[in-house]
Structures are given as structure tokens and as C-alpha cells.
Chain A
Amino acid sequence: MAQISAREAPHLQQIDLTTLNLQQLSTLKQQLDQELNLFQESLTSLKMAQTKFQNSGECLEKITSDLEGRSILVPLTGSMYVPGKLVDVNNVIIDIGTRYYAQKDIESGKDYFKRKINFVTEQMEKIQVLGLEKSKIRDAVVEVMELKMQNQTA
């Protein structure tokens, strides 16, 4: 899960699109299209992560103290279950990444997922802003390309 920085690379210099020839413009457009695709993919996987965290958070809502001692069926495999009893309804063990798991009580568990959802949402917003900017640049490139092509045929 990489942090996305919103600032532009400082070494980029401004280029007047009209000074480029058609070939350069189409290369630029291809590059922009690729980047836009990448953004779209990132958005999709972030959306998936968001849903996962949301589901886990909702699951925690269902664990209440009156569930203690209730019998449940524990899945051993996808198709085999063994009966069990809920002994501890106050703590859950959460995957925090890189193969580490931490035990948390219900409240801090909920807090964890809330934080995660916020983090993912933030990243998504950043990507959306970046994507919008990129597609604006792409539109400008396409416009200049069309202009040049018209001039060539004229």
C-alpha cells in the first residue's frame, strides 16, 4: 500500500504543446493513456481494499457481550466445520500486515478499521485529483494533435 504524493516532480519543465510534432504528441498521448490506466487500476484495487475493511468493521459490530458462550461452527476448510464455543468476545486478532497479527479489544478493532478505511479513502481521493489533472493534459494534447492534422491536410 504505497502512499501517493500529490506534488509534482520538481525537475519537470513546462513545454509548449504546439512546439511538438505529431509523432512526439502521439507518444505523449500514449504515455498519458498508460498513466491513466494505471490510476484506474489503482482505484479499483483500493476500492476492493476499502470494501474488505468495511466488511471486517461491520463484522465487529455484530460481536456483542451476549454472544459469550454461544456455540458456533468453525470452518476448518471451505466445506468442513467443527462445533466450537465462543469463549472470548472481547478481543479479536487483526492482521496488521507483513505477517504480523495483533490482539485488540473490540473498540480498538473498530477504530483500526475506521482508520484503515479513512486512509484508503484519502489515497483514492488523491488519485482522483491526479487522474483529473492527467486527463485534462491528455485532452489538451488531443486538441493540439487534431489542430496539427487539420493544418497538414489544409
Chain B
Amino acid sequence: MADDLQRKIQSELEIYKSLQKEYSKAVQTRQQLDGQLNENQIVKDELNILREDSAVYKSVGPILIKTDLVEAKQNVAKRMDYIGKEMKRIDDQILSIEKKQDGHREILQKLQHQFQQAQVKAAMKA
């Protein structure tokens, strides 16, 4: 009986740990996306300040290629749109992992409680 319980606790613990890993990974991705979004926002602001006839370049590897200002603006807007969508996706993911984590934490606490009770009983018998 006690062995069975211990095994259960072990497997629950493993699930919980892997959820934690998943969670921190998602949070990291979310932070990265946030940073990218901010950087793009800054570039967008900068492009908006530029005069219409300003030359804009895009670096491709070591060389700079001249691009159209309008095109550059569109490109940045598109990127921000994409990053925003990605962020929403990750946010949902984080929420669902949080829910799962809470559920498993509860199960774990219950199991640990059972285990303690079983130990107390065994001690009383001995």
C-alpha cells in the first residue's frame, strides 16, 4: 500500500516538474517576444519621424541594401502584427500550463497527505 502510494507520488512529481520546465520555457519565449515587439516599436517610431525622401537601408549579411521607406514601414508593421499574434498564443499557453500546474499541485498535496497518514498508522501499529 505504502509502496503503491510512493510510486504515485513519484510519477505525479515528475509530471509536475516537467510542467514547471514547460512553464519557464514559455515565459522565456514570451519575454523574448516582448523585447522584439518593443524593438520594432522603436524602429517604427523612428521610421515615422524620417522625411518622406529619406534613404533607408536594410542590412542583409554584411551589406546594406537600399529600400523604400514605405516598404520598410509596411515590413515593420507586418512584423509587429506577427509578433503580437505570437504573444497571444504564448499567453494562452502560459495560462493553460498554469491551470494544469495548479491541478497537479493539488493532487500531489493530497497524495502527500495520504502518505503521511499511512506512515502515522504504520508507526502506531509497530
Binding site for B on A (CB under 8 A): 1-3, 93, 96-104, 112
Task: Answer yes or no: B56 CB below 8 A from chain A CBs.
Answer: yes
B58 in the interface (beta carbon within 8 A): yes
8 more CB-based (< 8 A) A-B contacts, given A1-B42, A2-B38, A100-B47: A1-B35, A2-B35, A3-B38, A97-B40, A99-B59, A103-B55, A103-B56, A104-B50
> Is B39's CB under 8 angstroms from A1's CB?
yes
Q: Which of B40, B50, B55 contacts A98 (CB 8 A)?
A: B40
Q: Are B59 and A103 in contact (CB under 8 A)?
A: no
Contact residues in B for A93 (Cβ distance below 8 Å): 55, 57, 64
Contact code string B55-73 (vs A, CB < 8 Å = 1, else 0): 1111110001000000010
CB within 8 Å: A-B pair count: 56
B34 at the interface (CB under 8 A from A): yes
Question: Which residues of chain A have C-beta atoms less than 8 A from B46's C-beta?
Answer: 96-97, 100, 102, 112
Residues of chain B within 8 A of A97, CB atoms compared: 39-40, 42-43, 46
Q: Which residues of A contact B43 (CB under 8 A)?
A: 96-98, 100
B contact residues around A112 at 8 Å (CB): 46
| Number of B interface residues in the complex (CB < 8 A) | 21
Task: List 7 A-B pairs, minimum CB-CB distance, nearest first.
Answer: A103-B55, A101-B57, A96-B46, A97-B43, A99-B59, A2-B38, A98-B43
- Interface residue B54 (Cβ < 8 Å from any Cβ of A): yes
Q: In the assembly, what is the distance between CA of A78 and CA of B39, in Å?
A: 29
Describe A's contact surface by its main secondary structure.
strand
Residue in B closest to A97 when the chains form the complex, CB atoms: B43
Bound: A100/B77 CA distance, A: 13
In angstroms, Cα B43 to Cα A99, docked, is: 9
What is the bound-complex CA distance between A101 and B34, given in angstroms? 22
Which B residue sits closest to A119, measured CB to CB?
Answer: B42
B76 at the interface (CB under 8 A from A): yes
Can you name 19 A-B residue pairings with CB atoms under 8 Å? A1-B35, A1-B38, A3-B38, A93-B55, A96-B43, A96-B46, A97-B40, A97-B42, A98-B79, A100-B47, A100-B72, A101-B56, A101-B58, A101-B59, A102-B46, A102-B47, A102-B55, A102-B57, A104-B50
